[in-house]
Amino acid sequence: MIVLSLVAGAAAALIQTTVLPQFFLDAWTTPFLPAALVATWATTRQPIETWRITLISALILGVMSSERVGWFLLALLPISLIAVFLHEISAQNRHLTTQIGRASATALTGTICYFIILTIVAGKGSLLLAAGPDIAIACLGTMALAIIGVLAVSPFRKKPIGLF
Amino acid sequence: MTISRNAVWLSALFVTALLLLAVSLSPPAGRAEEQTRALLNPVVNFLGDLTRPIANLVLHVGDVDNLSSENALLRLEVETLTSELATLREQQQTATAIVSLLASTQENSPDPIVASVLVRDSAPGRSEMLIDKGAANGIRLGQAVIGPGGTLIGLIIDVKESHAWIQLLTANKSAIAVVAQSSRTQGALVGTGTTLQLELVERGRDIAIDDILITSSLGGRLPSGLLAGRVTSVESEPQDLFEVISVEPLSDYQRIEHVLILTNFHSPNRALEEPR
């Protein structure tokens, strides 16, 4: 599973830098695939496994950008942190709607954190307010991807054994 | 137990991020980054080539009607331009004779370099592009980059051995000297992060919508006469000292696949900075 998570993280980052910019011409409105992947993975498996996805995605995004790799890692950390937090407060509830809610919240807040951190370190914090509607589109796209991910994976998950 | 393991991961990655930030400006880190990028290039090119036709189809599927009417207008424009071309050809012959005389007095300079765009920076707030040519191909800092239609799209801001980064004119830190082609009004073409603005044009100066802006030799950073943008709006309040002028780029920066780098222009500033 370690290898699979690393491959998934690398693939998400590569698709983010090569495929998505061709469909979303404005960087501000582009859904953030690594956040959607972390949200899906944390919801359908264990949040602790998402840290290595965060690491590999940040490394590849950083290499394919003129921004420093370290900033990408710092910008991605909150996504896994939020996933862990939400898992801890609702771990007992394994209902599908709860999982979708948890994945959506992780994707939403994680993408917002990513945009805020990278825009500020790029020295363009003043653009954030003006880009608010565009960032909202990116967040909705990321949430949608996370929800689709949860719905796609949930049929294959093992059901907990018990009387009730 | 899980919480403590998560805390270990978080701390480890936080420290890693700080370490990466600390070493990122050192030459070995730059080399490692470049080698990794070179390693990923085949995958990046493969994914780009694979999805580009699909993206074009998806993005333009609803444009057929618009494209038809646009095509008719363009045909009309082509006819007009063809007649203008005949006149210009006559003038070109005269100009060619003069240029050949001038060229014989200048030193031999290398040809412009054609480069492919590998990646558009996906980080928010960045208006930069990575190209597949670098110092080994003669790319140097500050060289002008030409896009589709022969328009200036940006400048080289970072050069590695086999790659280089272009800062687009729309980037927040970008500023170049330009002049309006018709009225010769001078100003500074400044990037706002997403679009362009013409600044330092005093109120009442002769500038209008649809004026074409070309680069000025003022400042010595760029060759003069390169197409840079088109004025889309001119506004000012009675109390303003300067006009507020919006400018649109002459080519779609998002769709650029190949660029031309002008290597044969030598900035007088650079010549002054070089040790004698």
> Is B173 domain-assigned?
yes
Q: Is residue A162 part of a domain?
A: no
- Partners of A14 on chain B (C-beta within 8 Å) are 40, 43-44, 47
The answer to whether A72 and B31 are in contact (CB under 8 A) is: no
- Confidence at A159, pLDDT banded by 50, 70, 90: low
**What is the average pLDDT across A73-99?**
86
Assess A89–B contact: CB distance below 8 Å, yes or no: no
Asked if B48 and B123 sit in the same domain, the reply is: no
**Residue A72 pLDDT level (bands cut at 50, 70, 90):** very high
Among the listed residues B14, B39, B34, the one whose alpha carbon sits nearest the alpha carbon of residue B24: B34
The nearest CA of chain B is from the CA of A158 a distance in Å of: 21
Q: Are B253 and B170 in contact (CB under 8 A)?
A: yes
Per-residue pLDDT tens over the stretch B38-71: 888 888 888 888 888 888 888 777 777 788 888 8
pLDDT value of residue B236: 78
How many Å apart are CA A101 and CA B51, to the nearest integer? Answer: 31
| CB atoms A20 and B122 under 8 Å | yes
Predicted confidence (pLDDT) at residue A141 exceeds the cutoff of 80: yes
Give the end of a domain, one of B59, B85, B104: B59
Provide the pLDDT for residue B90: 67
User: What type of residue is B239?
Assistant: Q
Does B33 contact A63 at a Cβ distance shorter than 8 Å?
yes
Domain that holds residue A142: 2-156
Whether residue B117 lies inside any domain: the answer is yes
pTM for this entry: 0.66
Contact A18 B124 (CB under 8 A): no
The CATH number of the domain holding residue A48 is 1.10.1760
Q: What is the pLDDT of residue A14?
A: 92
- The nearest CA of chain B is from the CA of A18 a distance in Å of 6
| Min Cα–Cα distance to chain B from A155, Å | 26
Give yes or no: residues B262 and B156 share one domain: yes
**Residue B140 shares a structural domain with residue B245:** yes
Cβ partners under 8 Å of residue A50, min gap 6: A5, A38, A41, A42, A79, A80, A83
8 A C-beta contact, residue A118 and residue B124: yes
CA distance B250 to B195: 11
Determine, yes or no, domain membership for B64. no
Taking only the tens place, the pLDDT of each residue in A10-21 is 999 999 988 888
- Same domain, residue pair B26 and B124: no
- Interface check for A124 against chain B (CB to CB < 8 A): the answer is yes
Q: Which among A21, A27, A70 has the least Cβ separation from residue B24?
A: A70
What is the pLDDT, as a whole number, of residue B104?
A: 47
Distance CA(A131)–CA(A114), nearest Å, equals 14
- Domain coverage including residue B51: 2-59
| Residue from A17, A49, A113, A126 whose CB has the most chain B CBs within 10 Å, to mutate | A17
DSSP letter (8 states) at residue B85: H
- Spatial distance between the Cα atoms of A99 and A86, rounded to a whole number of angstroms: 10
Total domain count, chain A: 1
Q: How far apart are CA B109 and CA B116, in angstroms?
A: 22
With 0-12 / 13-18 / 19 or more C-beta atoms within 10 angstroms meaning exposed / middle / buried, residue A17 is buried
Residue A123 DSSP one-character state: T
Task: Say how far residue B202 (Cα) sits from the centre of its chain.
Answer: 26
pLDDT tens digits, A88-124: 887 777 788 888 999 999 999 999 999 999 888 888 7
Number of domains in chain B: 2
Confidence of residue A146 (pLDDT cuts 50, 70, 90): very high
The set of residues, in sequence order, having a beta carbon less than 8 Å from that of B237 and lying 6+ positions away, is none
Closest CA to A82 of A119, A50, A116: A50
Instruction: Name residues of chain B where pLDDT drops below 50.
Output: 104-105, 107-109, 271-276
Domain-located, residue B65: no
Query: A131 forms bridges with which residues in the sheet?
Result: none
CATH of residue B239's domain is 2.40.10.340
Is the per-residue pLDDT at A148 higher than 90? Answer: yes
Angle between helices B27-60 and A50-63 (to 10 degrees): 90
Distance CA B215, CA B143 (A): 13
pLDDT reported for residue B105: 46
Three-class secondary structure of residue A95 per DSSP: coil
A-B interface: how many C-beta pairs under 8 angstroms? Answer: 140
**pLDDT confidence band for A156 (50 / 70 / 90):** confident
Query: In this structure, is residue B180 part of a structural domain?
Result: yes
Of residues B13, B52, B119, nearest to A17 (C-beta): B119
Cβ atoms B151, B125 nearer than 8 A: no
B140 & B240 share domain: yes
For residues A34-57, average pLDDT: 91
SS3 content of chain B, % helix, strand, coil (to 5): 40, 25, 35
pLDDT band of residue A40 (cuts 50, 70, 90) is very high
Residue B237 falls inside a structural domain: yes
Residue A40 lies in a domain: yes
Tell me the DSSP string of B207-230.
--TTPEEEE-STTSSS-TT-EEEE
The answer to whether the Cα torsion of A65, A68, A74, A77 is positive or negative is: positive
- Say if B86 falls within a structural domain: no
Nearest to A81 among B10, B122, B158 (CB): B10
Q: How far apart are CA B260 and CA B115, in angstroms?
A: 6
Q: Does B126 lie in the same domain as B260?
A: yes
Q: Please report the pLDDT score of residue B54 as a whole number.
A: 86
Residue B93 lies in a domain: no
For residues B35 and B133, membership in a common domain is answered with no
Q: Looking at the structure, do residues B124 and B199 belong to the same domain, yes or no?
A: yes
Mean pLDDT throughout A24-34? 86
B139 and B34 in a single domain? The answer is: no
Q: Cite the DSSP H helix spans in chain A.
A: 2-18, 20-23, 33-44, 50-63, 69-89, 96-121, 127-130, 132-153
